[in-house]
Structure 1
Amino acid sequence: MKKYLTLSYLGSVSALGVATCCVLPLAMMLLGLGGSWLAVFGKIAAASYYVLAISTALVAVSWFVSHRTGALVNLKWWLVGSTAITALAWVIVFNEAQINDYLIMQM
């Protein structure tokens, strides 16, 4: 059961990282941390929906397996946290343009 929980969190954190790939460079530029290395994020953005879909599937499998094995009582809050991280990643991806516009206005 621990491996599903670990996979769930690994997928959630990677989804959050991929979701912030287009927002993070603007935030770093706002803080004065710009540079040519920020071009790396463009390559990551191409795979963002795939990583988010895989992450969502991992979280769903973790919920299902923990329910089937009866471990849901012990792991409920860990799974809620993993689900919240994945949901935050989806919110960031769907509101990316508005977040970028806000950050540009702050420059």
Structure 2
Amino acid sequence: MSLLDENAEILKRIDEGGNDLSLSREVDFSHLFADRLSAEAFASDVEHLGFRAAVEKVDRDEGHWDVTASKELVPSAANVTAAEEQLHALAQVYGGHADGWGFMNP
């Protein structure tokens, strides 16, 4: 199953739950990094792409860092997938990887 198909399935279930997916909302894309410097460099780059970024240490013992990149958009499969692919490619530059996406209902 492609990433686009996977996101379409997820959004279909959300839509069937009674959520209006035609409304624009802030979508959060989470990425994990092994060190603070990589996380902060990624966060800086995604801000230049129009995302808001928040950096947080998530595992004190192992030293993992989470960057949540957020952007206002209509949560269609195409929009979510395009953002996810763009962010994933950039995260890999800094040794990071995607850890999912989500949003709150407006």
User: Would you say same fold, with TM above 0.5?
Assistant: no
* TM bracket (short chain): under 0.3
By relative contact order (CA 8 Å, sep 6+), the higher-ranking structure is: 1
Larger of the two Rg values belongs to structure: 1
> Structure 1-normalised TM-score?
0.26
> Structure 2-normalised TM-score?
0.27
Higher helix share: 1
Higher strand share: 2
